[in-house]
Chain A
Amino acid sequence: IVLTQSPATLSLSPGGRATLSCRASQSVSNDYLAWYQQKPGQAPRLLIYGASNRATGIPDRFSGSGSGTDFTLTISRLEPEDFAVYYCQQYGRSPRTFGQGTKVEIK
C-alpha cells in the first residue's frame, strides 16, 4: 500500500493549527494507521495508532482521524517542540509501509 502525505512542508507559527493529510492507495484494513513524529537526530516517536488513539504520554493537542483511504493528523495549537517531520504508516497489510513525511516548520 502506497501512502502519500501532503503537503510536503507546512509553514506555521507557534500557536497555529496544523492539519496533515495521509492518503492510501488502497483501503487500510481496520484503520490500522499510525502517525510518528521525528526530530533531527532522533528516532521516530509514536503519536497515534489505530487512526485515532493517542499513544502513551502524547498530549491531547495531537489528534488523528479518518478511515479507509484518507487520514488526518491535527495539532491544535503548535508548541515550539512540535516543529518536526511527521510520518504516517499503515499496518493493515504486510509489508507495513510509511508515507514520505510532512515537515512542519516555523513560519
Chain B
Amino acid sequence: EVQLVESGGGLVQPGGSLRLSCAASGFPFSSYWMSWVRQAPGKGLEWVANIKEDGSLKYYMDSVKGRFTISRDNAKNSLYLQMDSLRGEDAAMYYCARDTYGPAPTAAADYWGPGTLVTVSS
C-alpha cells in the first residue's frame, strides 16, 4: 500500500525557518518525481515544488524561489522541504504528493499524504 506521511509543520515567526519531511513507503520511491503542494486555510491548491527521481532537477513556484529548497534521500525513502524567510502568505497545509501522470516536470499526482500544517505568525 502506498503511504506518504508528512511531518515537521508548526508555528513559526515571520522570517523564520522550518523543515518539512515526507516518509514514503509501499512503492519504489527512487522511481518517481515527487512534489510539494500547499493549501492555505479555506483556499485552493497551489503547487510549490518538485524534484526528479535522482534529485538532479528541481522546480519551484516563483514566489518561493530562493527561499525554499526541495530535496530527497532515496536511501531513506524521504522527501524534504526546507523553508526559509517564511512569510504570512506561506501559511498553509503542505502536502507531499507522488507525480505519476504527465510530461515531467509537470504531472498529475496520484497519491497524497494527509498534510502537515505550517502557521506563520508573530
Contacts and interface: CB of A to CB of B under 8 A. Distances in A.
A32 B113 contact: no
A106 interface: no
B89 interface: no
Interface of A: 30, 32, 34, 36, 42-46, 49-50, 55-56, 87, 89, 91-101
B106 A93 contact: yes
Given A91-B101, A91-B102, 20 more contacts: A34-B108, A36-B45, A42-B114, A43-B112, A43-B113, A46-B111, A49-B102, A50-B101, A87-B45, A89-B45, A89-B108, A91-B108, A92-B106, A94-B59, A94-B106, A95-B106, A96-B47, A97-B47, A98-B45, A100-B44
A55 B106 CA distance: 17
A46 B45 contact: no
18 contacts: A32-B103, A34-B108, A42-B114, A43-B113, A44-B95, A44-B112, A46-B109, A49-B101, A49-B102, A49-B110, A89-B45, A91-B101, A91-B107, A92-B103, A92-B106, A95-B47, A96-B106, A98-B45
